[in-house]
Amino acid sequence: MLNRETALFIDGPVGRLEALYLDVADAQGIALLCHPNPVQGGTMLNKVVSTLQRTVRDAGFVTLRFNYRGAGQSEGSHDMGSGEVDDAQAAFAWLRAKHPGLPLTLLGFSFGGFVAGSLGGRLEAQGEALARLFMVAPAVMRIKEPERLPERGELTVIQPEADEVIDPTLVYEWSDALARPHELLKVAECGHFFHGKLTDLKDLLLPRLSN
């Protein structure tokens, strides 16, 4: 198979969603990637999301990344809340239909951390087992009822210590208050967009994808 993503459109709740899909031979799982704040220019082509995609690809996962409503060529208007989680659920449904038996890993960066975490909680409530959830510099302040995190599966939170967008203290306090088991990884001398630290991000992810 080609090691290159295929551009396609997925039917979403309010119109077509632009996506990039990569199939791999003998995949060990499927990975859905959620991008940062679309109002601030975040798309599935964000460099952190691209690093996440390449990392899970290299670990042997089928990957799907997509643009939320109103971002890129995706139809609809920004909701900045449950609407983007609805979009992620539609993207997951498409991916699951193509790969019905493979374990699921969710990854989200910034606003996408809120989306991925909330999607994981929804899917778990519907009986879908989640293998892993990675929340990178996550917008934890957005996780409010009715959205919630999944209670099972491995959860890893990766937080830059010099984050200028998401206050690291908010993430640390949220982590301390989180009842479910999880791992919090702090990245020293690192800003929100991992400038000069993308290799460090990959090095943190890879061993946790092969567990």
* 74-132 residue pLDDT tens: 999 999 999 999 999 999 999 999 999 999 999 999 999 999 999 999 999 999 999 99
Go through the chain and tell me how many residues it has: 211
Contact status, residue 61 vs residue 27, Cβ threshold 8 Å: yes
Q: What is the mean pLDDT of the chain?
A: 96
Is residue 200's pLDDT more than 90? Answer: yes
Contact status, residue 17 vs residue 87, Cβ threshold 8 Å: yes
- Domains assigned to the chain: 6-209 (3.40.50.1820)
pLDDT grade for 2, boundaries at 50, 70 and 90 = low
* 66-90 residue pLDDT tens: 999 999 999 999 999 999 999 999 9
The candidate with the shortest Cα–Cα distance to 29, out of 121, 124, 192, 153, is: 153
Contact status, residue 38 vs residue 70, Cβ threshold 8 Å: yes
